[in-house]
Structure 1
Amino acid sequence: MLAIASILDIRSREIPDKIWLIFGGLGAVLSVLELIDMPASNRTAFSVHYTIGIALVSSIGYATYRTGLFGGADPKALVAIAVILPAYSGGLFAFHDFAAISILSNALVVSITAMLYNIFRNFVSVARGVPIFEGISEGRMKRALAFAVGFPSSSPGRYVFEMEAVDDSGNRKFRFNPAHYDDFAQQSPEILQKDEGERGNKRRTWVTPALPFIVYIGIGFAINLVVGDLFAALFKLAL
């Protein structure tokens, strides 16, 4: 399910709801069969755990979607995972056995490490003397956030989102809300910036990598099967 969803999201930025309905429906049927097959004394605990897991993931998914941190497909994927795999404790590290919660936390850890690429790239530009924030009308906090989640580019690749916009006053502003990232970035003709070391003017704009979060969820799922909860692993290492 996650592999199919990741491929579709990378190619078209759209994941049909039938993906979650088909796989989630199959997971629900298997869970019902499992409930029927288990001893009667365990059914109540299983049902309560199942319900709590789905409720937790649904609440987290809805909250992150409303704040713009998640796209529409990400919460649906997590709910489908909670339905298909309500509990898993086969990994080496765990705080709990709610599989979907551990998978989400793993995805967040993996996505944070992806910021290291942006930071490294921006440090290199600064070291070369490139004025990466020239023309940007933003404060230090937003510039620091942009330094971690994006980078300025004169030739955006295929899979990046434009991370800035021009307001009514003609000022260039950052936009960090993923809900605004509908289309891949194009070179913006109104944004001109001279790139040191090259001739002429270059069209440059701030962009952020467009790797869908559903890909990170898939990676987090694989990590959970083998390692478990990365936060639990980091906590144990810290001790």
Structure 2
Amino acid sequence: MNSLPDLLRLLAVPAFAWVAWRDIATRRVPDRVWLPLLLVAGVALLFEFFTINGSPTRRFFLVRVGLSAGLVVPLSYAFWRLGGFGGADAKAFIVLSVLFPAYPAYRLLEFSFPGVETALGIFSLTIVTNAVLVGIFYPVALAARNALAGEVSLRSFVARPIPAADATTEYGRLLDVGPGRGGLDLDALRMYLRWRGHTLEELRADRSTYRHSRSLPEERNPPGDGAIRTTAA
């Protein structure tokens, strides 16, 4: 039988699905989504703690909660500082450390999920390590994709070529924009174009005019935050 705390934790799954979709669509996740998820996690923890029978079992549960937060929170912060995780990724893992400190147990018909449980029994740590493993293999997959397209170089492990016209509809950073120049952040490019009130095609079509300061409009627009304009809310 599924326990009530584990069923309560399922309420967070649609929220994480929405967060993942918004992250892919806009690379922006509002901070307001994390507090309700933490509240759900806190309620589930309290409910589970008070429904556990026996002091030793309760102590073991608290140890798992402490290990989950004590390991996953600093790991998430460290990966964020190193550039391995985005800010939303780190916050998601921190929430998961409280939401799923131990392995949940779900039964559907004759099946039990999850099918495998580690010896340590900290589900949030399993989620983080799986994410790291996927991240390790991503450069290999990216290089293979580039090789199939005829692009073979060391840069093919960290980037992919895009047409210049697509620069305003992609996220990331250009590795180079010409001899002696550093990479260009595409968020900054969108902010600049909105500030000027021109499209990239217009600037590229008349470079000699738009490279001079006298081409700047008298009334300039708010640059925004550089996000791709989308219907995602």
TM-score with structure 1 setting the length: 0.59
Query: How many Å separate the matches in 2 of 1:22 and 1:68?
Result: 26
Specify the alignment match of 1:202 in structure 2. Answer: none
Q: Return the match for 2:121 from 97, 117, 121.
A: 97
Matched, 1:162 2:173: yes
Q: What SS class does the counterpart of residue 92 from structure 1 fall into?
A: coil
Specify the alignment match of 1:233 in structure 2. Answer: none
Query: How many Å separate the matches in 1 of 2:62 and 2:157?
Result: 42
Query: How many Å separate the matches in 2 of 1:3 and 1:39?
Result: 34
Matched, 1:109 2:123: no
Report the Cα offset of residue 114 of structure 1. 3.9
Per-residue CA distance 1:20-50 (angstroms, 9 max, x = gap): 1101211111111110111242222211210
Specify the alignment match of 2:35 in structure 1. Answer: 21
Q: What SS class does the counterpart of residue 152 from structure 1 fall into?
A: coil
CA 1:183–1:73: 2 relative to 1, 3 Å: farther
Give the residue type in structure 2 aligned to 1:76. K
Report the Cα offset of residue 122 of structure 1. 2.7
Q: Return the match for 2:156 from 139, 147, 155.
A: 147
Give the residue type in structure 1 aligned to 2:131. A
**Do 1:162 and 1:184's aligned partners in 2 also have CA atoms closer than 8 Å?**
no
Q: Return the match for 2:89 from 63, 74, 83.
A: 74
Q: Which moved more, 1:72-81 or 1:37-46?
A: 37-46
Structure 1 or 2, whichever has the larger Rg, is 2
Matched, 1:8 2:22: yes
Report the Cα offset of residue 88 of structure 1. 1.1
Q: What SS class does the counterpart of residue 143 from structure 2 fall into?
A: helix
Specify the alignment match of 2:231 in structure 1. Answer: none
Specify the alignment match of 2:47 in structure 1. Answer: 33
Q: What SS class does the counterpart of residue 40 from structure 2 fall into?
A: helix
How many percent of aligned residue pairs carry the same amino acid?
Answer: 26
Q: What SS class does the counterpart of residue 49 from structure 2 fall into?
A: helix
**Do 1:161 and 1:183's aligned partners in 2 also have CA atoms closer than 8 Å?**
no
CA 1:181–1:159: 2 relative to 1, 3 Å: closer
Q: How many residues are paired up? A: 168
Matches within 5 A, 1:154-233: 154-155=163-164, 156=166, 158-165=169-176, 170-173=179-182, 182=187
Query: How many Å separate the matches in 2 of 1:166 and 1:4?
Result: 35
Q: What's the Cα RMSD here?
A: 3.2
CA 1:165–1:112: 2 relative to 1, 3 Å: same
Q: What SS class does the counterpart of residue 164 from structure 1 fall into?
A: coil
Query: How many Å separate the matches in 1 of 2:20 and 2:189?
Result: 16
Q: What SS class does the counterpart of residue 34 from structure 2 fall into?
A: helix
Q: Return the match for 1:50 from 51, 54, 65.
A: 65
Q: Comparing both chains, which one has the higher relative contact order based on Cα–Cα distances under 8 Å and sequence gaps of 6 or more?
A: 1
Query: How many Å separate the matches in 1 of 2:117 and 2:53?
Result: 28
**Do 1:164 and 1:172's aligned partners in 2 also have CA atoms closer than 8 Å?**
no
Q: What SS class does the counterpart of residue 87 from structure 1 fall into?
A: coil
Q: Which has the higher strand share?
A: 1
Query: How many Å separate the matches in 2 of 1:12 and 1:124?
Result: 28
TM-score with structure 2 setting the length: 0.60
Where do 5+ consecutive residues of structure 1 fail to align? 133-142, 190-239
Specify the alignment match of 1:118 in structure 2. Answer: 142
Q: Which has the higher helix share?
A: 2
Give the residue type in structure 1 aligned to 2:158. V
